[in-house]
Structure formats: C-alpha cells, structure tokens
Structure 1
C-alpha cells in the first residue's frame, strides 16, 4: 500500500519571494493513487491585502480571511498530514515555492523537491501540444466541472484527484473484484475423497488415431 498527498494552494499573487502569500491550502490523501476521505484544509490570514485581480480568480476577499489563522498556526498540522510521502500538485513548482516560502518565514525547512509529482508534466507527456490546464483535463476525461465557478483549493484538489487517477491508468473498477475472485479460486481445494475416473479409448478410437498419425511427417508420438 502506497500513500501520497495531493494538494493545492490559493495565493495573493504569483511571486512568493516578493511578498505574495498563501491564503488557502487543501490536501487530500491518496492510497495507491486513489483518494480517501482524509483531508486537510485551511483558510488563512495572509497578513496583507488580497489584490482584486487575485480575488477575481479564486473569489477570496479580505473579509473572508479576517480573523482566520496565520500560516504559522497551521504549519504543524499541515506537515503532519503531508508526512514524508510524495506530494502531488498541478504545476507543482508553483505550490512548492509558496509553501516553502511560508515555511522559511517561520524558520522551518523547505519542502523537498524530490517528493514532487507534477500532474502538469504527466499531462504534457500524455497529451503533447494540447491544452493541459485542470479545466481542459477535466473536460478531456469527462469530469464534472459544474461546481467550479472560481478557483477553490479543496474543489480543485477533488477534481485533480480524479484527473490524476485517469493520468495514472484509470480506476479499473473491476480489477479488485477480479483479483478477489481469482484469489478465492486459487485457494479452493478439491475434496480429497473425490473419486478418480479413468477413460479408456475404444478400439475404433485407437484405429482412427493411428490413421491420423500415419498422415503426419515425423510425428512426435513415434519418437523414441
């Protein structure tokens, strides 16, 4: 059983090194690349104003984050949820950079990039030259987008989890059942007291067999 964590962030802008901050973090646990019910979510006070251009993207205003915890308040719970497992994100370098910048602000180590799994890279490998945004991938895999009126970290995680399943080979819904049935069959033992039946060919059958072999060139049945 393998565990990974799929996560997403919403931010005040695009530049974590020049003052932009994380305002929303969502993460979903994956077991064998399939989502479980275990989740992490936090809406944060970024300790600065949220520009209107950013609000138009994710719908989060200054009023939404007023009185919410700061990143330092949730860092331990987030890191506990992340564990030491691989971290999956769409355009992962963006999310890694923001989380790492926040961690550095509070004196914690940055995220290890060796843990990064970027679904954008996976999508480009599978669909080269095609649009590979989250919306485009959802449409390609026929994943319902009706609830996605703005960017939302938790909703985006749930959509990306479905996309990730498809990018990694699909759910193969019948596989588990087939495997269980196969194991059950493999473990089945015939009753030890079952009668043995020997079948003796008739003279006519033996004669027909000899006639058939006689038509073959160097038949294996007559090799010594």
Structure 2
C-alpha cells in the first residue's frame, strides 16, 4: 500500500486573503514504511510573506524570489503523488491551499476520499490532550532536534513517524479485540494461584455468595 505524507508552508493563514503555498514536502510510505523517496520544492508565491508566518517557518521573500512558481512544479508534484492516499495533519488547512493552487493551474482538486487527517486520529486517540505535531512527537519519543522552525519536508518526515505509530497501535488494538476467545491461551497470560486461601477468606467468600442470593 502506497501513501504520501504531505505538508506545506504558506505566506499566511487564509486562502481567502490571497495567501499562497511557498513550500511543499512529501514523503513516500509503502506499507507504512519510509522508502527514502521524497518530493520537496520551494515556490515563489509572487506576493509578500506575512511577518507572523515568517516567524513560524523562517522563509523570506528574498529566499524565494528565484524559485519556480507553482504552475512550474505542479506536474512533478502530481506525478509523485499519483493516486495514493494523502496523509496530512490538520488536512483542511493544507487542502484548501493545494486546491486553490491546483485551480489556478486548471487542475482537478484533490479527492477528499483519499485524505487521512492525523489530527482527527489524534483527537480521538488522545482526547483532552495536546495534539499538535510537536506534542505528538514528544508523546512518542520522536526526536525533534532537526526542527528549529516549521519546514514542509522536515514536518512531513516527523508526521510519517507519528502516523506509523498511531496506526500501528490502533491496528494492534483492533486485532486483539477481534481474536476469538478460544484461540487465546489463558495459561500463557495468567499465572496459576501459588497459594491457598485462608479459612477467613473462604468464610467471607461464602458469606458474600449468600448475600447475593438474598438480594436477587
């Protein structure tokens, strides 16, 4: 099974305000394992980056001025993604920007049925806990030393590790819950009682049984 973990960095927070993608990072997974294949591009958005966005990712207008525009890398991106499922954290954000860029290039929007949002998975799995990418990495003991600021490729690699762990744990839980009782060797799970009950324990046990019968 082929999946693509994808992340973006942008000039600001909202497509409605005319903000654009400035970096895309993709990581290829086969059967939830990193293959080493990546897609990574910096993009000239032809507009200024907001100061608040710059503080998050550290990508400047000057750095991007000689980079290609989205229309010049879109075919390479689509060739890499192909028909694979897309794994994203807070997918609504990334998809809104991607679909805007695809629309401007005359391309079809992303099929929502192929999107897996790890934010949704994390909220269900860890209710009431912080579920940012940083928080999930710390929970899973994933090394964050390479992440001084947000970066699309760095974050895609970190998210790939988070996703693989979350899905693996969920599948293990489902597999165990679906096991037939007779297929589980209880002797290998529980040790036999290595001591005999005392007379007082036996007496209290039978008293409890008599009480239960009276209450029925």
TM-score range relative to shorter protein: 0.7 to 0.9
- TM norm structure 1: 0.74
The CA deviation at 1:129 is 1.0
The CA deviation at 1:25 is 0.2
Q: Which has the higher helix share?
A: 2
State the match for 1:124 in structure 2: 123
Contiguous gaps of at least 5 residues in structure 1? 171-224
Q: Is the 8 A contact 1:124 1:132 kept in 2?
A: yes
Contiguous gaps of at least 5 residues in structure 2? 170-216
Per-residue CA deviations over 1:108-139 (Å, capped at 9, x if unaligned) read: 11111111100011111111111000000000
User: Secondary structure, in 3 states, of the residue corresponding to 2:168?
Assistant: coil
Q: Over alpha carbons, which structure has the higher Rg?
A: 1
State the match for 2:161 in structure 1: 162
The CA deviation at 1:17 is 2.7
State the match for 2:208 in structure 1: none
Instruction: Detail structure 1 runs of 4+ shifted over 2 Å in the superposition.
Output: none
State the match for 1:31 in structure 2: 30
State the match for 2:135 in structure 1: 136
RMSD of aligned residue pairs (Cα, Å): 1.2
Q: What does 1:186-205 align with in structure 2 at a 5 Å threshold?
A: none
The CA deviation at 1:73 is 0.2
The CA deviation at 1:18 is 2.5
CA distance, structure 2, for counterparts of residue 85 and residue 146 of structure 1:
30
Per-residue CA deviations over 1:27-74 (Å, capped at 9, x if unaligned) read: 011101121111100000001011111100000001110110000000
- TM norm structure 2: 0.77
State the match for 1:76 in structure 2: 75
